[in-house]
Amino acid sequence: MNNDKNIPNLDLRGNILLVDDSSVNLCVLQGILSSFYNLRIDTAISGLETIEKIKKTDYNIIFMDHYMPEMDGVETTIQLRELNCLSIIIACTSSDLPKEYYISKGFNDLIQKPINVILLCTLLNKYLK
């Protein structure tokens, strides 16, 4: 375990769900996470697929894209909260909406695209205690 607050803890464990309608975005984020951490990572390409996955698996963190067809990330998060999903949900978006907007919709946090690796590590260390 790492005691230096500037160096991320690379020994984190957890189940992570990445949700994005772009396979490129999923591959990039999955690649970043896989290169630093030994996490169990699942992916979903829609809000409906996300809801089905959380019914079968408990995820510590869900990284949720905002803009997706049919059911966007905000609608999906609202439905997940109505289903009593306790996972940490982090908006992972290129939107310029403020963090407060996402918090008000049931998200726990926000990370902007393109992904800042240091911020990503900070969020993982914060939520995977």
Q: Percentage of residues in the chain with pLDDT exceeding 70?
A: 92
Domain boundaries, the chain: 15-127
**Quick one: the chain helix, strand, coil %, rounded to 5?**
40, 20, 40
Full-model pTM = 0.91
Average pLDDT over residues 4-30: 84
The pLDDT value given to residue 21: 97
The predicted-structure confidence for 4-16, as pLDDT tens digits, reads as follows 455 556 678 899 9
Sheet containing 109-112, strands listed edge to edge, beginning at the edge strand earlier in sequence: 40-44, 15-19, 61-64, 88-93, 109-112
CATH top-level class for 15-127?
alpha beta
Within 8 A by CB and 6+ apart from 48, the residues are 70, 71
> Higher confidence at residue 2 or residue 51?
51
The predicted-structure confidence for 72-103, as pLDDT tens digits, reads as follows 999 999 999 999 999 999 999 999 999 999 99
The pLDDT value given to residue 10: 66
Q: Give the H/E segment covering residue 74.
A: helix 73-82
Secondary structure (3-state) at 15: strand
CB burial of 97-125 (b: ≥16 within 10 Å; e: otherwise) equals: eeeeebeebbbbbbbebebeeeebbbbbb
Checking if the pLDDT of 129 tops 50, the result is yes
Secondary structure (3-state) at 19: strand
